[in-house]
Structure 1
Amino acid sequence: MKKPIVSWKVLMFLYALSVVLLWEWFIPIMDLTDFGHPSLFIIYLILFFALALFRLSWWVGGVIQILYVLWAIHYMYFDQLWISIETTGYILQDVQRNILLLIKGDLGELSNLFRTLLLFTLVWMIAYLLRHWIEVRRSMMMFFSFTIVFVALLDTFTPYDATSSIVRIMIVGLLIVSCLTLIKLSGDEGLSLRPKRLLLLSLPVILIVVSVGLLSRNAPVYPPAWPDPVPFLLSLSGVEEKGSDKGQARAGYDPDDSQLGGAFVQDSQLVFEASVEQRQYWRIETKDTYTSKGWIQDKESNKELLFTGEDLWAPVVEGEVSLATLDFTEPLPFLATPYGTTKISSPEGFDLMHEMTANRLYLLMGLQEKIEQYEMEFVEPTYTMSDLQKAEMVNYETVQEDLESYLQLPDELPERVKELALSITENETAVYDKVKAVEQYFKKNGFVYETQNVPVPDEDQDYVDQFLFDTKKGYCDNFSTSMAVMLRSANIPTRWVKGFAPGEMAFKASGKNVYRVTNDEAHSWVEAYIPEIGWMPFEPTIGFTHPTEIEFDISNESPEQEEIKKAEKPEVEKEKELPKKTKGSPAFDAFKQKFAWLFSQWWLYASLLVLIVGTCVVLYSKRSNWLPKWRIKQLRKLPNGRVKFEQQFAQLLQQLARTGLPKDTAMTLTNYAILVDGRYGGDRMTTLTRAYEMGIYGNNWQSQDWDKLNEVWEDLIISTTC
């Protein structure tokens, strides 16, 4: 990479614009897929260009970038803040295995971890190209054009709305192109282009682009003269025949689950904020009838009237009462509650109707009425391993009749689904162990979490059978429905649950964590009935962990129990497919909870702020002592010539002004040089001034002795620091 011919300030400005332009590629990817942790990639881009700005050796920068990528993968896939030897070894083994798969052409078998590594590699390649185009080619028109085409295609053929994105791309892109054009012209003419001069020359372009952008946003828009060609193109490709008649859905809660399957796009719209001490699953309703295509509530629910502010249900177990407050921005038709809810109250006051079969709550005045805030008391259920191990299949005999509806299966369910369920559970005795065996089956047999390439079953195809034996990829509905059907095939009563995952912790307020729950956190899981225990939640979806508390009160632990113990810890076993981390990743929540005490120590933050501000003040006040030495190191890297000497002379004038010897506007350079030499001795300033005037006014740069001028300049500017 050639050394840049512009100042570091101009480079930093261009690098920042490049990051913004590249970020426009990530925005639609996040909107259309379950792309997680985008901030880690942005941090990597900032790190890359920061290393480029400091002109570090290639091997130093390479080591720093490799360490960062290794840390980012640890954070994304192993819920670890620090790099460990064990997980690093696993990553190396996974990379080795996936390289062999890549050579064989088995792209569909690549692990998510390796795909993330490939994405980091792609981002590095693009960032390197951007740096090359800025510093060497001084042209970004190709990348600018590709960005416009990419976003325009997504806006045309996907649900992504690029209205604002196109405006941002045009403003940033034209600004980069104009700046690079000015730099290229100044370099061809041998002129110096300082940051202020570049900004002044670019100002007309900035004003024109911003004005046109604002005008286009507010001007009236005429309807298109031609019909939309997209439906016609999609019909030619056969998409309409294969896809669902609903089109591509968006993430979020939907009461209709009769037809499951198909892709959906992410929706980060906030639904509610939950103020609670620990992360919770937010339960809304259950369904009991599987139709081979989806779930319905077959029979009318018995209803009971409940009054807020009173004890609604007795706690399942004795324990500490916790409080949770939900504030809705997008009210739901039914209430979302944590497990173990005993009381619901609200400042508004309302009465509830409880549908007992569907296990859902809504306001008495009707489903059309929605509540914006309510508070709940709950006692988190806890289970002991000894009690769970006591429950066996024979214990169902006393409650078999009451649970008959939770064993329902459609007549057309393929026999191989039942055979698979029995083969998974036949070696276990306790009901709990059978359920855990099915839950863990998905994590050990190549199943992949996927939201885009998820097909809808054909008319003669079963939804669960398709997932278990044909695709092996899907999202929460696929995993939870398949687990429920397999448990029923093994004669274990099961019901399908809908609600929201815990969400992402945003901040702390009044001693509680505040979780932001968006439409992306809409989720489904499973509840199995354990004899003498009751309904117990289980989480089969890869990448999710239900916060079920289990006390291990027996000494001889089975492998299944060990698996439960490690549910909240990083998994480093060799799985064929690693989970994708969603926006509601438990890693981030666990990190914030672990260091929660830090957020309440205001004095620590105040001291740290004072220390940082004090350090900045001292560094700024003493900049005349250390800044010249740093500038000497930077300018030594530039080739001798006019550009370097002009920067040296400008830096010298700034340093002299900082030391109390500024140049008066009415004073000539010659008189000013005599004044400087009078303070610091010798004729060094006079020598530099003569060379500068010969070049500026006489255009005589070729006859200069650059080595001597460098030596004189360094000697004089060092003298000003004493």
Structure 2
Amino acid sequence: MINQQKIYLFVLYFCGFLLLWEWLRPLTDITNTGQVHYFVIFIALSLIINVLPLYSSVRTGTKIVFILYFLYNMFAGEHSSFIAWSIYLIEDVIFNIGLLFSLDVVNITDLFRTVLFFILLWIMTYLLRYWLTVRKKIFVFYSMTVIYIAVIDTFTIYNAEWAIVRIVMIGFILLGILFFQRLLEKENIRNRYSLLAQWTVPLALMILISTFIGYVSPKAGPIWPDPVPFLKSNADNVMPRNNGGVSKIGYGSDDTNLGGPFIGDDSVVFEVWTQQGRTSGPAGHYWKVETKDTYTGKGWTTSVEAVPDLDVGVGTEFRLPFDIPIETERQRRAHFEMKLLYPHIIYPYGVMGVDGDISNVKMITALEKFIPFSAENEIVSPSEYAVSYETPQYSLQELRNTTSIFYSLPNGVNEELVNEFLEGYTQLPDTLPERVRDLALELTKDHHNWYDKAKAIEAYFKNGEFTYDQEKAAVPGKNQDYVDQFLFETQVGYCDNFSTSMVTLLRAVDIPARWVKGYTSGHLIDTVADSTLFEVTNNETHSWVEVFFPSQGWVPFEPTIGFTNFSSIVDENAVPEEPTEEEPVTQPTEPTTPEPTEPETPTETNNEPETEVKTSFWETMKTFFTKNWIVLVGCFIVLLLLGVWAYWKRSKWMPYILVRKYKRKHNSDTLVHAYGDLLKQLKRIGLEREIGQTLRDYSSNIDSYFHTDEMSKLTEQYERAIYRGDNSQDNWESTSELWENLIKRTTG
């Protein structure tokens, strides 16, 4: 029987270990946690130590040794000596305890976080042992595991498809074994471990077969609408966008992994005074920051072979490469007052110079991005600066005459360099699905010049098949192309989806194009004479498209639903194709992708017309949760901890609840129920009635423990009410004081 008992315990602990392991599996996908195998090994060793017949002090010491050994392997670094590293560990722990007392949890070191995580796993293994061998109930931990994995699968890139299958199988096996064991103990059946072994095998087979049948069987589609996008839209940015989390609006420079929902942020980035011109209304500016040229299938990077940076200086006139406006108005200035400081210059189209409290400005040619420097040649984040510019106007005839890269180029141009330029800006990944190229050919087959082809692609996104939505934007799978997913599967997204897709389609028909990031015009705040003040927030972060025309330079296009192409295109025959002036509007805005190291990422606003509608209950709730999620989560955690603590200490306060419950009850069955609650309370404090023990023997043990005879008297009245049919109402009136005294004694 001893061998059967050991086998039974091994099965229980092994299943418990597998269940606890599922908590660690997502860490490598959703966090920066490394070397997870140390944590898995520690869990296994802790469970083994808990089974061995060792003194508690030996168990504790052994676990501490394992933790120190694992920490040394993970964080020793330059501390080759274990003694030197131990001193460093003690100093680090003391330092971080000080941070905890000052509530500065942000600056806690990775070493101390790992120490706390090992302690947490230690506690979890102890609780697992308690649930498996003492309480013989695992449902609470099993339910928590299912909820945890479901939430991780819903809101991150972790794919829990097989994790759920494993959890269901392991959990049902544990629940079945523990239930059968409790049943055998309750009935006081001999050879229980032999019966358990006979029960376990068919139980495991039944669960495996039913799980397999359920997995391979056809499933019905969902009946209710998916609530996940709504929940995601009210979450904060807890991880980079490429992990499938909800991104927060703002400017970031890492665009390697696009996709996923975002939430708005009306924090003001800058205010800008600009002059109105004859042909450009106050909404006629997009504010550029940088461009990118290499599409990877997931996002954007910059080509390695970059042109040397250009020193544009401060206060000197210059023109960007290929920035060739045909006609210009008088030179104008835009004065920027930054509210959020960034180490780059924001500028309009037609920029000609930069002035401000900076010593030098360089342009990173590969990004067409301006970087300000101080006198010490250090990158700075200026709070104020001015930009001079001339709004470019593009010739419609020249645009429509362009059919190749060599149109309107000077004689004697180096064809090799031109072809190299064309190859760079028509680059597409080898993994791009062929149907994307087929779509580009289909859209442009009836057009013969670059401009009309670009307009046809631009118009395609506004044909009613695509939807602008900030909450339902998908994250491409591991082997899925970002553009292909948007064009053929979801057709739901925001500016990053539309602009990246247009650039890709243009390049598929050999038209040079690039991806641009910056801000839309913003909100008009004030007007003084011919100058207007715009306020630009994080909500105005945006991405759009530029197409290269040899005689015109880089010309902007706007494929995103709800946005208007702001470029000024002039028809020399006085038949304008596009209006040269836009009425002042407040345009919707959107994000670009975030830097993984920054807490914010760009986004945009909804494309629906801004109409005054009554705020719905759900919109109010969404706004409330968005603004107060930290407080709400904190309150939930505090209440959860208080609930756990209250449940853990229920033996201390439950008697007072029971006393109040039975204080005014005088029913015929009051004594029976009160006696049953007393037995439960005695069990909570460790005075459990043994299997097969009579009530009188049990009462004698209780009286010996409390040094009284009240339990025996109460039991005598209880047995009379049960077996002799005495009036239990009268019995309760005479014995309620005995019961109350006894149950109060259990509080200690």
> TM-score interval w.r.t. the shorter chain?
0.3 to 0.5
TM-score normalised by the chain length of structure 1? 0.45
Who wins on radius of gyration, i.e. which is larger?
Answer: 2
TM-score normalised by the chain length of structure 2? 0.44
